[in-house]
């Protein structure tokens, strides 16, 4: 089919307006990233052509969605948003099996579905699909691009936005670009970070942090056939892309816009912290990363303003905040970012029965709200838990020592600490630092596995309460709560990966189970099962969230300094009726004075609708309770 060059076609007034808007926020970052080595005008012209090309073939229903979201750009911050995260095969067999599971998702109140990596991975080990060899094909075990498109349409018709992983930092070494680079093509060698000898790699290594010290130590790999060293931050088979090369930017943008036209509404930008390298640094969270993100987000917005970007940066608080836009990037970078610090502090407080560190960290390091952006709040995901607790933060809690606390948490959650309720496992022990990370499912880490094994009903009740309290926390803290598949029915650790040669080296598969649809079937008949109680609790919490305007992500989150060592208290307030959320991290009833919670007038619990228990002016908070207090009447 003959195509008319873009320049010769009449331009579309709506696209022109959007492009003009995008330009304002594109020039700065592109000039800083590439301005010295390339002509900015040429680069902008190429991006514009690319955006316009995709805009022209964007299906009408998606263009209508773009318009709706342009008129309501904060749509994703609504309290009605609830996300679910799953592996397509482990949840629904295949992509074509997914639409049949939509009623289950709707029953949970889900409005956003993150399907774990679906794009064509390398054969064999693939880091759970995060080593992509073809971004334009679907993993054939899951289906085809048409299946993806159909699934996206079916989801959208039920009010669910599809989120897909996009691995930006690296490709599989089997990707076409990498193979061409390996064959000696200089154009594609410039897509990666390659070195003729190990002088520079050794210099860089001095300040780099090992990500997989057990399974893939070091950040460079030598390939004798090429005679070159290649930057491989993660596994040997994942080659880091060279984002200092604008061709990489253009190639990835093209992929994003293509997938957006297939109906993908949200991109989970994987491992973004690592995208820019500078000698003498950890090569994580460098300022250029935020310029890359702004340029990608704004260029996407030019062609498809309905699209969201979620940054995956599992980093300390100081480094995390800029992913949601600070300074010149405010309101211009990712729309969502994982609140891994809330997650870490949830587990820390639960083990220690002490919330002082949590209160300090969440009060000190985070703004109360962001412009046009919010956190994704979660308890578990497909990855391990890294005990990111700094000396500086621990120093604010009397007698707490960061290294010792990290050791305690690893021991508590691997099940070796005396009297622990948790059953998990160590991951990636680092002999240099002595640090270990942790694997395990939410339910097993919350004590359900040990309680069931002991057949102890009281312990089972406590485990169920911990799981529900955690869900109430992520539903009300501020942001979009992510339900990780299986957590809503309390699935335990799954050891079946140990007999699969492609999976057994990676303990994270322990908490990536298959959905237990038989159990879901039993739940309907046996409402007293722990799984049934958890599911009922999660459904109730998400439904209650949706009714409360104060829980929307744009409403500021103020963590209160109540001085209480076992409770976390969070005030959600703007113009409307404020809500004070209180969480008890212990198996004991706690007491707190109403003045310490800054409560004003008579209160009721908006989560349970039940009456509160008072002793005079002192509120009694039951074991592992979550209370959402609002003014009564
Ligand atoms: C992200 C993924 C993780 C993967 C890594 C490398 O952190 O969540 O599973 O191993 O990126 O792609």
pLDDT at 431: 85
Which atom belonging to ligand 1 lies closest to the Cα atom of 169? Answer: 12
Task: Confirm whether 489 is domain-assigned.
Answer: no
Looking from the CA of residue 212, the nearest atom of ligand 1 is 10
pLDDT digit string, tens, across residues 164-175: 999 999 999 999
Atom of ligand 1 nearest to the CA of 170: 12
Ligand 1, atom 10, residue with closest C-alpha: 127
DSSP bridge partners of 613 = 620
Domain count for the chain, please give it.
1
Across the range 101-119, mean pLDDT stands at 98
With bands split at pLDDT 50, 70 and 90, how would you rate the model's confidence at 254? very high
- Residue 9 pLDDT exceeds 70: no
* Given the residues 270, 384, 393, 506, the one annotated as active site: 270
Instruction: Classify 128 in phi/psi space as left (phi over 0), alpha (psi -120 to 50) or beta.
Output: left
Domain-embedded: residue 49:
no
Q: How confident is the model at residue 10 (pLDDT cuts 50, 70, 90)?
A: low
- Residue 542's pLDDT is 98
Give the pLDDT confidence score for residue 432 in this predicted structure.
Answer: 84
Q: Is the pLDDT of residue 38 over 80?
A: no
Q: Which residues fall within 8 angstroms of residue 517, CB to CB, at 6 or more apart? A: none
Ligand 1: residues with CB < 6 A are 127-128, 130, 167, 234, 270-271, 312, 382-383
Q: Say if residue 5's pLDDT is above 90.
A: no
Under a CB-based contact definition with an 8 Å cutoff, are residues 475 and 541 in contact? yes
- Whole-number mean pLDDT of the chain? 96
Answer yes or no: 270 catalytic: yes
Q: Confirm whether 69 is domain-assigned.
A: no
Q: Looking at the domain assignment, is residue 526 inside a domain?
A: no
* Residue 140 lies inside a defined structural domain of this protein: no
Q: Do residues 378 and 339 touch, judged by C-beta distance below 8 A?
A: yes
Residue 567 lies in a domain: yes
The alpha carbon of 133 and the centre of ligand 1 are apart by a number of angstroms equal to 15
Is pLDDT at 102 greater than 90 in this prediction?
yes
Q: Rounded to an integer, what distance in angstroms lies between the CA atom of residue 102 and that of residue 218?
A: 43
Q: Which of 270, 323, 384 to mutate to test ligand 1, by most ligand atoms within 8 A of the CB atom?
A: 270
pLDDT score of 214: 84
Active site annotation includes 549? no
Domain assignment present for 323:
no
* pLDDT at residue number 58: 97
- How far apart are the CA of 461 and the centre of ligand 1, in A? 34
CATH of the domain at 607: 2.60.40.1180
- What the block records as the tokens of 612 is 């509160």
The answer, yes or no, to whether residue 2 has pLDDT greater than 60, is: no
Helices then strands (H, E): number in the chain?
21, 25
Atom of ligand 1 nearest to the CA of 131: 12
Strands 579-584 and 374-377, by their bridges, are unpaired
DSSP E strand stretches across 190-307: 194-195, 220-223, 228-231, 238-240, 266-270
Determine, yes or no, domain membership for 20.
no
Residue 1's pLDDT band (cuts 50, 70, 90): very low
User: How many whole angstroms from 410 Cα to the centroid of ligand 1?
Assistant: 21
- Cβ(119)–Cβ(68) below 8 Å: no
Q: What's the Cα-to-Cα distance from 351 to each of 316, 405, 447, 559, rounded to whole Å?
A: 20, 10, 11, 20
Give the number of the atom of ligand 1 that is nearest the alpha carbon of residue 508. 9
Domain that holds residue 588: 557-631
pLDDT at 576: 78
Q: So what's the pLDDT on residue 433?
A: 87
Residue from 127, 267, 313 whose mutation best tests the ligand 1 pocket (most atoms within 8 A of CB)? 127
Q: Which of 312, 393, 411, 487 does the annotation list as catalytic?
A: 312
386-416 tens-digit pLDDT: 999 999 999 999 999 999 999 999 999 999 9
How many angstroms separate the alpha carbon of residue 130 from the centre of ligand 1? 6
Residue 535 clears pLDDT 90, i.e. is over it? yes
Å from CA of 66 to ligand 1 middle: 30
Residue with the two structure tokens 């057949």: 455
Q: How far is the CA of 270 from the centre of ligand 1 (A)?
A: 7
Q: What is the pLDDT of residue 217?
A: 87
pTM over 0.85: yes
String of b and e for 6-22 (b: at least 16 CB within 10 Å)? eeeeeeeeebeebbeeb
């Amino acid at each position: 089919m003959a195509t008319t060059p873009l320049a010769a076609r009449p331009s579309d007034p709506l696209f022109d307006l959007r492009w003009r808007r995008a330009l304002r926020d594109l020039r700065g970052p592109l000039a800083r990233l590439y301005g010295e080595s390339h002509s900015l005008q040429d680069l902008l012209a190429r991006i514009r052509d690319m955006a316009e090309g995709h805009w022209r073939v964007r299906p009408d229903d998606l263009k209508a969605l773009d318009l709706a979201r342009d008129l309501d750009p904060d749509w994703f911050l609504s309290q009605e948003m609830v996300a679910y995260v799953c592996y397509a095969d482990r949840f629904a067999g295949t992509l074509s099996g997914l639409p049949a599971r939509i009623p289950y998702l709707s029953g949970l109140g889900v409005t956003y579905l993150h399907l774990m990596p679906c794009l064509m991975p390398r054969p064999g080990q693939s880091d759970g699909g995060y080593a992509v060899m073809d971004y334009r094909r679907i993993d054939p075990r899951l289906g085809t691009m048409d299946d993806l498109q159909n699934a996206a349409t079916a989801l959208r018709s039920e009010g669910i936005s599809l989120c897909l992983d996009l691995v930006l930092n690296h490709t599989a070494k089997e990707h076409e670009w990498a193979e061409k680079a390996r064959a000696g093509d200089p154009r594609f060698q410039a897509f990666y970070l390659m070195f003729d000898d190990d002088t520079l790699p050794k210099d860089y290594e001095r300040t780099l942090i090992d990500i997989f010290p057990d399974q893939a130590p070091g950040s460079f790999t030598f390939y004798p056939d090429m005679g070159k060293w290649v930057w491989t931050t993660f596994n040997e088979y994942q080659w880091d892309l060279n984002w200092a090369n604008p061709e990489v930017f253009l190639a990835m943008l093209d992929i994003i816009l293509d997938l957006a036209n297939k109906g993908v509404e949200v991109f989970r930008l994987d491992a973004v912290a690592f995208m820019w390298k500078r000698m003498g640094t950890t090569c994580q969270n460098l300022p250029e990363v935020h310029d890359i993100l702004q340029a990608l987000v704004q260029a996407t917005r030019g062609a498809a303003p309905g699209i969201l970007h979620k940054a995956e940066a599992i980093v300390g608080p100081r480094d995390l905040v800029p992913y949601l836009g600070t300074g010149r990037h405010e309101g211009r970078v990712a729309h969502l970012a994982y609140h891994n610090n809330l997650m870490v502090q949830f587990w820390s407080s639960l083990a220690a029965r002490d919330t002082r560190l949590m209160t300090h960290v969440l009060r000190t390091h985070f703004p109360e709200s962001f412009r046009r952006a919010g956190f994704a709040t979660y308890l578990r995901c497909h990855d391990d838990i890294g005990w990111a607790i700094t000396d500086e933060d621990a120093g604010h809690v009397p007698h707490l020592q960061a290294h010792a606390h990290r050791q305690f948490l690893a021991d508590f959650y691997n099940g070796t600490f005396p009297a622990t309720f948790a059953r998990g496992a160590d991951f990636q022990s680092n002999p240099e630092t002595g640090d270990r990370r942790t694997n395990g499912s939410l339910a097993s880490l919350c004590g359900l596995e040990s309680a069931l094994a002991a057949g102890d009903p009281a312990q089972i009740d406590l485990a169920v309460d911990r799981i529900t309290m955690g869900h109430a926390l992520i539903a009300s803290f501020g942001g979009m709560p992510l339900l990780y598949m299986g957590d809503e029915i309390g699935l335990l650790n799954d050891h079946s990966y140990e007999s699969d040669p492609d999976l057994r080296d990676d303990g994270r598969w322990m908490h990536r189970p298959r959905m237990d649809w038989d159990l879901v079937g039993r739940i309907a008949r046996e409402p007293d099962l722990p799984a049934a109680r958890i599911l009922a609790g999660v459904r109730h919490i998400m439904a209650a969230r949706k009714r409360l305007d104060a829980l929307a992500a744009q409403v500021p989150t103020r963590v209160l300094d109540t001085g209480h060592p076992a409770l976390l208290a969070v005030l959600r307030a703007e113009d409307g009726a404020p809500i004070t959320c209180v969480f008890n991290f212990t198996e004991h009833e706690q007491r707190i004075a109403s003045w310490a919670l800054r409560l004003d007038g008579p209160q009721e619990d908006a989560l349970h609708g039940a009456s509160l228990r008072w002793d005079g002016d002192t509120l009694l908070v039951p074991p592992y309770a979550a209370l959402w207090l609002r003014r009564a009447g």
